[in-house]
Amino acid sequence: MFKSLFGKKEKAAAMENVVSPMTGKVVKLEEVPDPVFSQKMMGDGMAVEPTEGVVVSPIDGEIAQIFPTKHAVGIRGNNGLEILIHIGMETVAMKGEGFEGHVAEGDKVKAGDKLVTFNLDLVKEKAESIISPVVITNFDSVASLTKSEESSVTREKSVLFQVKMK
């Protein structure tokens, strides 16, 4: 009884908007041409088929990892949410060609901050696909996930999905 009078009130976890890190066409994760993503081995989320070569942070947080080849970035949100943005399929084979990183591990970022720019035409030419998954890698910490019904998204402006943490 006293806990309810004097204890800290537990606040319910709020739904958090995860904005699209890229501008382009929305693709269901199940349609990504790589079983690691389409079978949700890395976690759940969505993908974007980009129409420009700019990737921004989808949430406020910290850069947990940026691959040496700059084709993928991991972000840990202020609420504990962990998101991996993987630019294209089989882009690691490009060995960083056409990719430029704008952040380093440990950097604090806000939603909309530029993370990576890339040469979209070069990725179209050299990669298996330009479809780019945006995946929650710590999905076991997620209470609920609501995915966008939109067919196209604009980086930083469109909500790609909403997450409620446990």
Catalytic residues: 86
Nearest by Cα to 97 from 72, 132, 122: 122
d(CA 115, CA 69): 13
Q: Are 115 and 109 in contact (CB under 8 A)?
A: yes
Exposure pattern of 93-128 as b/e (b: 16+ CB <10 Å)? Answer: ebeeebbebbbeeeeebebebbbbbbebeebeeebe
